[in-house]
Amino acid sequence: MWRQKQKNNFISTFSIGLFLLVWEVAGRFEIINPIFISFPTRVLWTGFSLIASGDLWSHLMISIIALFSGLLLAVVFGLIIGMSAGYKEYIFDFIKPYIYGLNSLPKVALIPLIIIWLGIGISAKIIVIFIMALPSIAISVIEGVKNTEEDLIEMTFSFGGSKFNLLRSIVYYESLPFFFSGLKIAVGKAIIGLVIADMFGYGLGLGYLLTYYGATFKVANLMFIILLLLSISLILNMFIDYFSKKMVYWKNNKTN
C-alpha cells in the first residue's frame, strides 16, 4: 500500500511538472501569445514583486479575515442545524425548505440585497461567504446523523444511556466523516463567495484584484492571484484532511 501511494504521488507530481514545463516553453517561446496567458516563471516573479512592494498585503488580509470568519460561522451554525435536524424529524421538516432552497439558489442573486442591508464593507463579505458555505455543512451533518447505525443506537439505550449520551458518544462521532466531507465542499464554495463578494466590494480583496488586473490586461498579476486563491484552498483542504485522520481514526483503522 505504501509503494502504491508513493507511485500515485509520483504520477501526480510528474503530471503537474509536465504541465508547468509545457506552459513555460509555450509562453517563453511565444508558441502561445504570452500577453494572454503569460508563463510560470513570469507569474512567480510578478507575485514576488507584489509581495515585496507591499501592495498585496491589505487585499490578502481583508480576504483572509472575511474567509475565516464566514467559514467559522458556517461551521458553528452548520453543526447546530445539522445535529438538531438530523436527530429530530420535526426540526428537519421545519428547516428543510430553507436549507435545501438556499443550497440550490444562485447566491449571486442575494448579493444586491446583502449590500443594501449591510453596505459594501467586510460584514457583507462575511455573510456572503457564510451563505455559500452553510448548506454544504448542514446537509452533510444531517445525512451523517441520519446514517447512524441502528445497532449502536439500540446498544446505547439497552445499557441505560440517555439521549444526551447517544448524541455525545455515538451520533457526534458517526457524523464526523460526513462533516469533514461537507467542510471540504464548503471551503470551495466559500472561496467562490469570497471572490464574488470582493468583486462587489469597496476596492479591497483578492476578488477585486482579479477584476482590476483582468480589466487592465495584467495577465501575470491575474494568474498569480488565481494561484494564490488555489494555494489557500489547498492549504485549507490539507488541514481538513489532517484533522479528519486524527478525529476519525477508528474509521481509517476499520478500512485498513
At 185-242, the pLDDT tens digits run 999 999 999 998 888 766 788 989 998 998 888 888 999 999 999 999 999 999 998 8
Residue spans of beta strands (DSSP E) within the chain: none
| Dist. CA 37–CA 33, nearest whole Å | 7
Q: Residue 174 contacts by C-beta under 8 Å, 6 or more apart in sequence?
A: 144, 145, 147, 148, 149, 152
CATH architecture of 40-255: Orthogonal Bundle (1.10)
- The grid coordinates of residue 72 equal 467559522
The residue extents of the domains of the chain are 1-37, 40-255
Q: Residue 219 contacts by C-beta under 8 Å, 6 or more apart in sequence?
A: 34, 35, 36, 37, 38, 213
Cα 155–Cα 159–Cα 163 angle in degrees, nearest 5: 75
At 31-90, the pLDDT tens digits run 777 677 788 888 889 888 888 888 898 899 999 999 999 999 999 999 999 988 887 888
